[in-house]
Chain A
Amino acid sequence: MLSCENIKKSFVIKKHPFGSDIRIEALKGVNFRLSANEIVGVVGESGSGKSTLARILLLLTKPDEGKIFYKGDEITSKSSTELNFFRKEVQAVFQDPYSSLNPRLPIIDTLSEPLKLYSKLTQKEIYLKVAEMLETVGLSSDDIYKYPHEFSGGQRQRINIARAIILNPSILIADEPVSSLDVSIQAQIINLFLMLQRQYKFSMLFISHDLRIVRHISDKIAVMYKGEIVEYGERDSIFERTSHPYTKSLISSLPENLLEK
């Protein structure tokens, strides 16, 4: 479905008036593949390049080097009009449920925007679709004219998820979608992702720094460390046959394992 080869990306952290700028290498040659109908979890500490990888796969950031493929075609340097189909089929949910919704738009407007852009539905059909989507993600269709500030963090994340799947995408990229939520709400959102993935059969890239959550939701796991994927494989084999020392330290620093020592 979606894959990338040898992706490199660095950012300038300090401009040097003479000589060369000081750069930080966010990704150092990453190869990654997301197949149909699977959930790949990406885990790693902050600064390991997880979010940069997500942004590059979404074509929101241009890589310095490397190629990105979607359904077999290289899309790395396509123009924005050529990418129209990609924007429709690949959707994202981000960490902060507060800043990712426009505070001035009622929910109906936020959720009907993708439909107006990419579908030929009439006004009435759009209304019905939005109402149905709200019910699907566990909100009430009575909420349709409310504004974002009327919802709690967990409810807003549900709205973000509704917006992401309303076009029935083939891929969903979720960057830390539960880390800013209360523990009692995290479980609700994780269950919602699992339920929707089963129902709509999209592929999902799920980024989190919490290994327990990644383990719970994923089919495959990629462990990122300092701009590289240091370990990648089936969920269970990552835990049973851990090879990289960083993954070992991640597993051993889980509270359950620390206590046993």
Chain B
Amino acid sequence: MLEVNSLKIALVEQGVQKKLLVNDVNIKIDQATIVALVGESGSGKSLTAYSMLNLMPSDNLKIVEGKVVFNGKDILKLNEEQLRTIRGAEIFMIPQDPLTALNPVLTIEEQIGELFKYHTNLNKKEIRERCLSLLESVKLSNPAARLKSYPHQLSGGERQRVLIAMSIALNPSLVVADEPTTALDVSLQAGILQLFTKMKNEMGKSVVIITHDFGVVKMIAEHIYVMYGGRIVEEGDKDEILENPAHPYTIGLLKSVPSIKSVPKTPLPMIKGYAEKSRYFCPFFERCDISDSNCKEQFEYTILSSKHTVLCIKAKRC
């Protein structure tokens, strides 16, 4: 349904390309699947997601190469007019922060209603009914009163639900959610994730979920892309990756989260260092425990199985 092909995004200052933030990224999203994009802040995962709508959060960021093919059309080649019919209606993006994503001076009804106003011919009364049923479908308490509320009167969880309601309003086939549960309490997280699973199972939608929490990935994703330093470093079926992670970054990430079964007060396994631009070929070189001089000069994708690929020349041996 959607394919990202050899995407490159660069920081451009005064017409000069400074550095590549997303480098040679390939992603494939089928109908009715949940795909997780995992990585640290600065790994390029949000930029990759933005490119799916041909949006860039800043004027200095430019897509310099690649294609984003959605149902046969290259999104990167469309003009603003054509993009408007796709954004919101066919691909919906739920941005990271549910407070800044909503307009503070519009009521919930006005915000959701806007979608119908621009994309459909419904009249006012029909729009109100649709808004009401959307809020009911995301299980927001007292939806009739909520329509009249402003964003600041809602809690974080409620705002996130409003955004999810908006994301299904026009029945898009793909929903991209950037860290949808990071700002939420654990007890609310589960509810939001169930909504995504429901969207997939009952409405046949695909969801791209951006997260750094493997707990979230475990619960809902089917396919995982792990990003590090602007590249996809590991990709594959969820169970394959969670059970047999092959890239040292994925392995380290999975181990460093304390689980409910770990021994308290013992040092947690950790990845050394900080996410910095690597001076060598392999983006993870400086922080890797198994890297050697070969990793400085080369890297390549190693295909471990039909459902599992990793960007590491040492992966087979570990």
Pairwise interchain contact B218-A255, C-beta atoms closer than 8 A: yes
> B190 near A: Cβ within 8 Å?
yes
> B31 near A: Cβ within 8 Å?
no
> B304 near A: Cβ within 8 Å?
no
- Inter-chain residue pair count (beta carbon < 8 A): 102
Return the contact of B187 from the options A183, A190, A217, A250 (Cβ within 8 A): A250
Closest B residue to A191 by CB, please name it: B267
Instruction: Show 17 A/B contacts (Cβ-Cβ < 8 Å), sorted by A.
Output: A45-B188, A183-B257, A184-B256, A186-B256, A187-B268, A191-B267, A191-B270, A194-B265, A216-B264, A216-B265, A217-B264, A251-B260, A253-B186, A253-B189, A255-B218, A256-B259, A259-B219
Closest A residue to B257 by CB, please name it: A183
Q: Contact residue range for chain B? A: 35 or more
Given A183-B212, A187-B269, A218-B264, check contact A254 B186 (CB 8 Å): yes
Pairwise interchain contact B274-A185, C-beta atoms closer than 8 A: yes
Q: How far is the CA of A187 from the CA of B268 in the complex (A)?
A: 6
> A119 near B: Cβ within 8 Å?
no
Which of A86-94, A99-107, A120-128, A206-214 is found at the contact surface with chain B?
Answer: A206-214
Pairwise interchain contact B40-A209, C-beta atoms closer than 8 A: no
**Residues of chain B within 8 A of A152, CB atoms compared:** 274-276
Complex interface residues of chain B between 45 and 66 (CB less than 8 A to chain A): none
A-B pairs, 9 with minimum CB distance: A255-B215, A187-B256, A45-B185, A216-B258, A187-B270, A187-B268, A184-B271, A182-B40, A191-B267
Pairwise interchain contact B187-A155, C-beta atoms closer than 8 A: no
Closest A residue to B185 by CB, please name it: A45
> B253 near A: Cβ within 8 Å?
yes
> A67 near B: Cβ within 8 Å?
no
**Residues of chain B within 8 A of A188, CB atoms compared:** 270-272
- Tell me the smallest distance from the CB of B171 to a CB of chain A, in Å: 28
**B156, B186, B256 pick with most chain A CB within 10 angstroms:** B186
**Residues of chain A within 8 A of B257, CB atoms compared:** 183, 186-187, 212
Given A155-B274, A212-B260, A217-B265, check contact A254 B215 (CB 8 Å): yes
Return the contact of B259 from the options A47, A194, A212, A235 (Cβ within 8 A): A212
Q: How far is the CA of A253 from the CA of B185 in the complex (A)?
A: 10
Q: How far is the CA of A155 from the CA of B261 in the complex (A)?
A: 29
Closest B residue to A186 by CB, please name it: B256
**Residues of chain B within 8 A of A47, CB atoms compared:** 155
A interface with B by C-beta (< 8 Å): 45-47, 152-155, 182-188, 190-191, 194-195, 209-213, 215-219, 235, 239, 249-251, 253-259
Pairwise interchain contact A256-B252, C-beta atoms closer than 8 A: no
Pairwise interchain contact A184-B270, C-beta atoms closer than 8 A: yes
Q: How far is the CA of A186 from the CA of B260 in the complex (A)?
A: 16
Given A183-B212, A183-B213, check contact A256 B260 (CB 8 Å): yes
Given A183-B257, A255-B219, A257-B260; 7 other pairs, CB 8 A cutoff: A45-B188, A182-B41, A184-B249, A186-B256, A250-B186, A250-B187, A255-B215
Return the contact of A212 from the options B216, B258, B269 (Cβ within 8 A): B258
B interface with A by C-beta (< 8 Å): 40-41, 155-156, 185-190, 212-216, 218-219, 249, 252-253, 256-262, 264-265, 267-272, 274-276
Q: How far is the CA of A213 from the CA of B189 in the complex (A)?
A: 17
Pairwise interchain contact A254-B260, C-beta atoms closer than 8 A: yes
- Tell me the smallest distance from the CB of B238 to a CB of chain A, in Å: 12
Return the contact of A190 from the options B155, B213, B259, B268 (Cβ within 8 A): B268
- Tell me the smallest distance from the CB of A150 to a CB of chain B, in Å: 12
Closest B residue to A256 by CB, please name it: B260
- Tell me the smallest distance from the CB of A45 to a CB of chain B, in Å: 4
Pairwise interchain contact B265-A45, C-beta atoms closer than 8 A: no
Q: How far is the CA of A180 from the CA of B226 in the complex (A)?
A: 20
Pairwise interchain contact B268-A191, C-beta atoms closer than 8 A: yes
**Residues of chain A within 8 A of B156, CB atoms compared:** 46
Q: How far is the CA of A187 from the CA of B269 in the complex (A)?
A: 7
**Residues of chain A within 8 A of B218, CB atoms compared:** 255, 259
**Residues of chain B within 8 A of A258, CB atoms compared:** 190, 219
Pairwise interchain contact B253-A184, C-beta atoms closer than 8 A: yes
Q: How far is the CA of A190 from the CA of B269 in the complex (A)?
A: 11
**Residues of chain B within 8 A of A250, CB atoms compared:** 186-187
**A153, A187, A188, A191 pick with most chain B CB within 10 angstroms:** A187
Q: How far is the CA of A216 from the CA of B261 in the complex (A)?
A: 9
- Tell me the smallest distance from the CB of B245 to a CB of chain A, in Å: 14
- Tell me the smallest distance from the CB of B307 to a CB of chain A, in Å: 20
Q: How far is the CA of A195 from the CA of B270 in the complex (A)?
A: 14
Closest A residue to B182 by CB, please name it: A179
**Residues of chain B within 8 A of A254, CB atoms compared:** 186, 215, 260
**Residues of chain A within 8 A of B271, CB atoms compared:** 184, 187-188
- Tell me the smallest distance from the CB of B263 to a CB of chain A, in Å: 9
Return the contact of B185 from the options A153, A195, A209, A215 (Cβ within 8 A): A209
**Residues of chain A within 8 A of B260, CB atoms compared:** 211-212, 215, 239, 251, 254, 256-257
Pairwise interchain contact B187-A215, C-beta atoms closer than 8 A: no
Pairwise interchain contact A45-B186, C-beta atoms closer than 8 A: yes
**Residues of chain B within 8 A of A210, CB atoms compared:** 186
Q: How far is the CA of A154 from the CA of B274 in the complex (A)?
A: 8
**Residues of chain B within 8 A of A153, CB atoms compared:** 41
Closest A residue to B287 by CB, please name it: A184
Pairwise interchain contact A213-B187, C-beta atoms closer than 8 A: no
